[in-house]
Amino acid sequence: MTTDYTAQARTEAGPPSYPLDADRLDDAISSLESGVKAWADMPLHRRARLLERTHESIADNVVRWTRTASDLKKLPTSSQLVGEEWMSGPYAALSGFYVVAKSLHKLASGHSTVEGLQTSTTPEGRLTWKVLPIGLQEAVLFHGFSAKVWTLPGVTADEIHAGAGLGATELGTVGGVSLILGAGNITSIGPLDALTELVAHNRASILKINPTLAPLLSVYREALQPLIDADLLRIVQGGTAVGEYLSNHPHITHVHITGSAATHDRIVWGNDNTHSGEPVLKKPITSELGGVSPVIVVPGEWSKADLRFQAENIASMRLHNAGHNCIAAQTVIIDAKWSQREEFLRELAFALEDIDHRDPWYPGSRDKLRQAAAEHSQAEAFSHGQRLLITLDSDQHEAVETTEYFTAVLGVKPITVDSPVGGIPKSVASIEHVAAFLGLAVDYANNRLAGTLGANVIVSPATRRSLGPRFDAAIERLHFGSIGINVWTGLAFLTATATWGAFPGHTLHNVQSGIGVVHNGLLIPHSERTVVSGPFRPFPRSILGGEFSLFPKPPWFVTARSAARTGRALTEFAANPCWAKLPGIFYHAFQA
């Protein structure tokens, strides 16, 4: 996800003109200052009702929202990929506002937002809080999937209960006005960032939408009208001059950006590439900045159907939204000695070629593809040259490990494990080899790849059982803000109760994938990461393989034939959750 004052103000047709109207922006900020003071005095139940009215307003605009997003991304209305726009746009926004409104109602009634959550403890003593599924409807809808928010080491359950609610428990606090520099790829990001700023931090927001999403300006304003009427949100567009004016405005108290580390650093440091002086930005900034997301393929004994399904899984992690995602998979880490390695890589190459062609739509994407091809000697092209598979055979650092290409570029890194000493029984040697590979793969992901936003791990149920606690220990050593086990970390983004952001600990001097947390609909304090898990196989093969999961091919797979219908059905459910809508969702989902 990229925000750039200059580069992202351009489209394929050339740079649009955005004149700076300082008086209009000043008036907007002044209104927001009044609105946030009223918010500070607003009781929790009235805050919840305001969010519910916004949820209703979003629901009234889901069709226009999805159609506009599909048009600007050049998707024909008949394409199943329109499902991506339903799910990552209005579905995510509706889920976010619905969950946060429920959290405020819970706080208003004197209960903790984490009350009743299933908890557990990791091998190193971190607490985990199960946030998916919550309730029977979610258990049925997301059968076989789960999400857990992990809190920081050393933090006790009492501290989590005491801090649950974040800024919502600080009635009377005026957080000021935040500038949100919106993303240009996923349409729910800006509205959800404004929701986080308002509820978790008591800040009103001026959302500057990315020029790439300019056609959505009127949709956003209509969908979010209750917040605008309450003087808690203003939505503007503009280029370099508007971004700089707002960032440096004396009445803007905070900045949040979804974009690239390079853009973040230009805002914070100006022309100081060494980051050794004082920041030119004189106010706090939080950020979500993407990175190079790994997929660790844990070796095992897979069927041909497993090989093909997991190849589609990884291809979808890269090709969703034509590859223009900050959380897209970019480096596949694979065991060099896995007996099925070549067969799996053939399936992956087949998927990259066979999946329906889609032209890049994000500005600059074709240049990024040419750059990636020029920077790597072992780059194989697929789908009319619009997808690249890059093999990393040497120990030398490669650009695909440190450059977020933000388009359909996928690297493959084989990891070699030294053979075990003689005399060890074959079955023991095999699982020892797998454990050794997993340890090396985690080290590689932590130390060689840029960013800490998300990591994916694919492992068969049999291999996971054989690894036992060593698998759990390896997951704990992965220092990423979201981790997906057999499911793309994009599910963490779509799960309103999950946290979203980089692994904690980054600074302005070395920002990596960003600073801070968004979403977090249960307003859980001291969060470290979210771990989402899913079945290794789709139904019915999941049951035959010993997994209790009734979920078919997920609708976020780019190969899901019914994704558009399923995405719309899920959005209609998010607008008004009820049991009567579940059969329709399943009807469409099982046609994938």
Per-position DSSP letters for 17-78, written without gaps between them:
P----HHHHHHHHHHHHHHHHHHHTS-HHHHHHHHHHHHHHHHTTHHHHHHHHHHHTT--TT
| Residues 208 and 109: beta-carbon distance below 8 Å | no
> Any idea where the domains of the chain sit in the sequence?
7-113+168-288, 293-560
**pLDDT at position 2, please?**
40
CA dist 496 and 138 (Å) reads 12
pLDDT of 379 higher than 90: yes
Each residue of 38-62: pLDDT tens digit? 999 999 999 999 999 999 999 999 9
CA dist 296 and 31 (Å) reads 49
Task: Dihedral sign for Cα 581, 84, 456, 452, please.
Answer: negative
Each residue of 224-279: pLDDT tens digit? 999 999 999 999 999 889 999 999 999 999 999 999 999 999 999 999 889 988 99
**pLDDT at position 14, please?**
45
Evaluate the omega torsion of the peptide bond into residue 577 and state whether it is cis, within 30 degrees of 0.
no
Confidence category of residue 19, pLDDT binned at 50, 70, 90: confident
Sheet bearing 233-237, strands edge to edge: 233-237, 204-209, 177-181, 254-258, 285-288
The 3-state DSSP class for residue 401 equals: helix
CA atoms within 13 A on the CB side of 559: 19
Q: Which of 473, 471, 455, 442 is nearest to 530 (CA)?
A: 455
Q: Residue 428 corresponds to which amino acid?
A: V
Catalogue the long-range contacts made by 76-83 (C-beta closer than 8 Å, 24 or more residues apart). Answer: 79/564, 80/560, 80/561, 80/562, 80/563, 80/564, 81/358, 81/558, 81/563, 81/564, 82/563, 82/564, 82/567, 83/555, 83/556, 83/560, 83/562, 83/563, 83/564, 83/565, 83/566, 83/567, 83/568
CA dist 435 and 417 (Å) reads 10
| Residues 340 and 303: beta-carbon distance below 8 Å | no
**pLDDT at position 18, please?**
79
**pLDDT at position 17, please?**
66
Reply yes or no on domain 293-560 having CATH 3.40.50.720: no
Confidence category of residue 421, pLDDT binned at 50, 70, 90: low
CA atoms within 13 A on the CB side of 35: 24
Q: Which of 329, 397, 325 is nearest to 365 (CA)?
A: 325
Each residue of 436-481: pLDDT tens digit? 999 999 999 999 999 999 999 999 999 999 999 999 999 999 999 9
Kindly state the average pLDDT of the residues 5-26. 63
pLDDT of 88 higher than 60: yes
Q: Do domains 7-113+168-288 and 293-560 have the same CATH topology?
A: no
CA dist 503 and 529 (Å) reads 7
Beta strands 254-258 and 329-335, pairing class: unpaired
Lowest mean per-residue pLDDT among 268-277, 355-364, 528-537, 578-587: 268-277
Kindly state the average pLDDT of the residues 337-346. 97
| Length of the chain as a residue count | 592
Reply yes or no on domain 7-113+168-288 having CATH 3.40.605.10: yes
pLDDT of 26 higher than 90: yes
CA dist 370 and 379 (Å) reads 11
Residue 478 — φ and ψ, nearest 5°? -75, 115
CA atoms within 13 A on the CB side of 356: 12
> What would you measure as the largest C-alpha separation in the chain, in angstroms?
80
pLDDT of 11 higher than 60: no
| Residues 516 and 286: beta-carbon distance below 8 Å | yes
Q: Report the b/e string of 94-110 with b at 16+ CB within 10 A.
A: bbbbbbbbbbbbbbeee
| Residues 410 and 330: beta-carbon distance below 8 Å | yes
**pLDDT at position 537, please?**
98
Q: What is the token pair recorded at 190?
A: 């800006």
- Averaged pLDDT score across all residues of the chain: 95
Lowest mean per-residue pLDDT among 176-190, 381-395, 407-421: 407-421
User: How many whole angstroms from its chain centre is CA 123?
Assistant: 26
pLDDT of 374 higher than 60: yes
CA dist 323 and 316 (Å) reads 9
CA dist 404 and 387 (Å) reads 15
